[in-house]
Structure 1
C-alpha cells in the first residue's frame, strides 16, 4: 500500500530571470571598473619606477656635487697656502732689498761725504805704486758693480715673488669661486632630490589610493559574482525541488489513484458484505451514543454536540478521554463472530472504504462517520463540531464492528481491548498506539510499514508510513 504523506520540503527561493540578469550586469560593470583600476595601478607602478630612477640619478648628482665641493675646497686650501708662502717670500725679499739699499745708500753717502772724486783721487795718491793705484781702482769698481748686482738680484726676486703672490691670489680667487659653485650645486642637488622625493611620495600615495579603490572594486566584484552564483544556485535548487515536487506529486497522484481504487474495491466489498453490516448495526443498536451527556434513553445524537468537554457516559462504564477527548465505556469488547484472514481483511476493507473521509473530533461509530463534537480548543478552531467524519478511535470502532467486535470510543481503552503483542512483531490488522498507554492516537496496521489513520483536525482518513516516534511498546491484536 503506497504512502500518502508528502516528502518534499518547503520550496527554496526562486530568483527571477530579472534578478539573475541584474546580478550579471553588476558583475559586468564591476569587471570594467576593476580592469580600469588595474590599468591605473600598472601605470602608477611604471611612474613609480621612473621616479625611483630619477631619485637615484639625483642622489648621485648630490654625491657628484659633494665630491666637486671637496675638491674645490682642497684647491682653495692649496691656493691659500700658496698665497701665504708667496706673501712670506715677498716680505723676505722686500726686507733684503731694504737692507741692501740701506748699505748702498750708506756707501753712497760716505763717498759723497769723503768728497766723491777727490776721495777717489786721494785713494789713488795714497798708493805707493801704480799697481796699488790700479788695484784700488779695480776694487772700487768691483765693489760698485757688486752692490748694484745685489740690488738688481733682490729687485728681480721681489718682482718674482710679487708675480707669485699675484698668481697665488688668482688661484685662491678661482678656488673660492669653485667652492662657491660647488656649494651652490650641492644645494641645488639637495633641492632636486627633495623635489623628486616629494614627487615619489606623492605618486606612492596615489598608487596606494588606487590600490585601495582596486581592492574595494575587487571585493564588490567578488560579492557580485557570489550573488550571481548564489542566485543561480537558488535557481538550480528550486529547479531540483520543483522536479522533486513534480515527481512526488505524480507519485502521490498515482498513490491516490491506487488508494482510490483500493478504497472503491473496499467499498464494494463492504457494501456487498451484508453480514458485516448487520453485525455492526447489531452492535450499535440500543447503545447510548458516546457523545450523549444527558442520562436519558434517547439514542439520537445531539444536533450541535456542544458538550463543553466532549465526555460521555454509558451505563455503569467509567469515563475517560483519548486523543480526541471523547469518552466511552470500559466494557470489554464482544468476541468476534469470525476469525482468521477473512476477518482481518473485513476489518481492513471497512477501514479502507473510508479513505478521504473528513476528520471530525469525536466522530464515527459502528455504522460509519458521525457529526464531530466541540473540544473548546483546536477542534473547535477547525469547526469539527460542524463536520461529519471520524477521529482515530472512531475509525477503529467502525472497522472492527464488521466482525462483531465492539470497541470503546477511546484509544486508551482500545489499548487494553485485545492481546498486546510486542510492536516489533506486529502483523496486518493489528492496532498501533501512540502515547502513554495508547492515550494519544491509534491506527490500523496494513503491512509493508503502512498504516490507516484519521490523524488530526483539518486532515482526513489516509494511509501513512508507520511512525516509530512515540509508539507504544505493544500493538493490540483483536483477531488471530
Structure 2
C-alpha cells in the first residue's frame, strides 16, 4: 500500500466538527467545568448576535476545511496506490528472477552429468579400439597359416576339419564382437555428446532468461525509484498543505469553546474505538496463544491471527507464517521510512501469517495470492475472504475481510496493522479469494 501519514487526531477533529450533532447523540456527555466563583458577564443582544454570526462563519470555514482535507487525503491515498504498484512489480520481478536462476542451475548440473556420460562413452570406445588392435596384432603374428584357410588345410580327417571349422567360426565371431563393441561405443558417445549439447543449449537459454528477468527487475526498480521519488515530493507538498489546514483549524477551534468541546467529545469517542480495537487484538492474541503451537483450524483462527497483530508496524517485505519479520530495501519511499530497519508486516506478509496457522502456504506477492483459492463475487464475501485492489490490471494490495463491512490490513509505510471499513472504490477487484470454507 501507499506510504502516507496524515495524523488521525487531526482527521478526528474535522470529522467531529462536520458531524458533531450525530456524535453528541451517540457519545457519553462530558461533565461541564465547575462554574466560576463570580457570575459571568451578561452580554448584550448585539454581542449575542455577533457571536452567533461569528460561529456561523466559523462553522462554514470548518466545513470547507473538512472538504479540503478529505480531498488531500483522497489524493494521498491514490498516490499511495500508484507507489505500491511499482513496489509490487519490483517484488514480482525479484521472485521471477530467482526462479530463472534456479532453472539455470539445474540445467548446468545436467550438463555436468552428460559430460560425465560422454567421458564414459569415450572410455568405452578407447577400450574397444584396444580390443580390436589386440585381435589384429594376434592375427598378424600368427600369419596366414593360422588363419581360417590354414586351419582348414591342416585338417587330418573330417572330424578334425569340423573342429577346425568351428574354431574358425569362433574367431570370426570374436572379431565381429570386437567390431560391434567399438560401433556401440561410438554410438553411445555420439548420443551422450548430443544430450550434452542439448542440455548445454537448454542451460544457456535459461541463463539468458534469467539475465532478461534481471534486466526487467532492474528496470522495474529504477522505474519504481523514480516514481517513488516523485511521490516523496508530492507527499511533502500534501504535508505542507495539511500543516496549513491544521493551523487554520486550530485558529477556528480556539474562537469558540463549543467547537472545542465537540472536538474533545469526538476524541473521547475515538479513544473508545482505539481501546475496543486493542481489546479485540488482545482477545484474538489470547485465542491464538490458547490454540497452542499446532495448526489452528477454521476461518476464526485465520481472523484471530490477523487481529492479534493490530498495532504492529508496517514494514515493506516483512512478515511470514511465523510472524513479523524485518523489512527489506526498496530503493525509494520504503527506505525513506526506514522499513528495512523495522520488524513488521506488509499487506501480503500479513496474509502469510493469518493463513500460515491453518497450514496454508502463500507466495509473498498479492498478485499471486489472488489466484491461490476460489473466486467469490464481492457481493457474496464472508469473513475470512481475501480482498484485493488493482490499478491498470495490476494487483497491488490485499486485506482480510472480518465481517460487518470491516477488514484488517497492513496499509502502508508509516502505518500499522489496523481494522478499517472496506474500501469499495479505488480499484477493488470484483472477486474475493476464499481459502477456507
Q: In which range does the TM-score fall when normalised by the shorter chain?
A: 0.3 to 0.5
Larger relative contact order, structure 1 or 2 (CA cutoff 8 Å, min sep 6): 2
Larger radius of gyration: 1
TM-score for both structures, normalised by structure 2: 0.43
Give the TM-score normalised by structure 1.
0.39
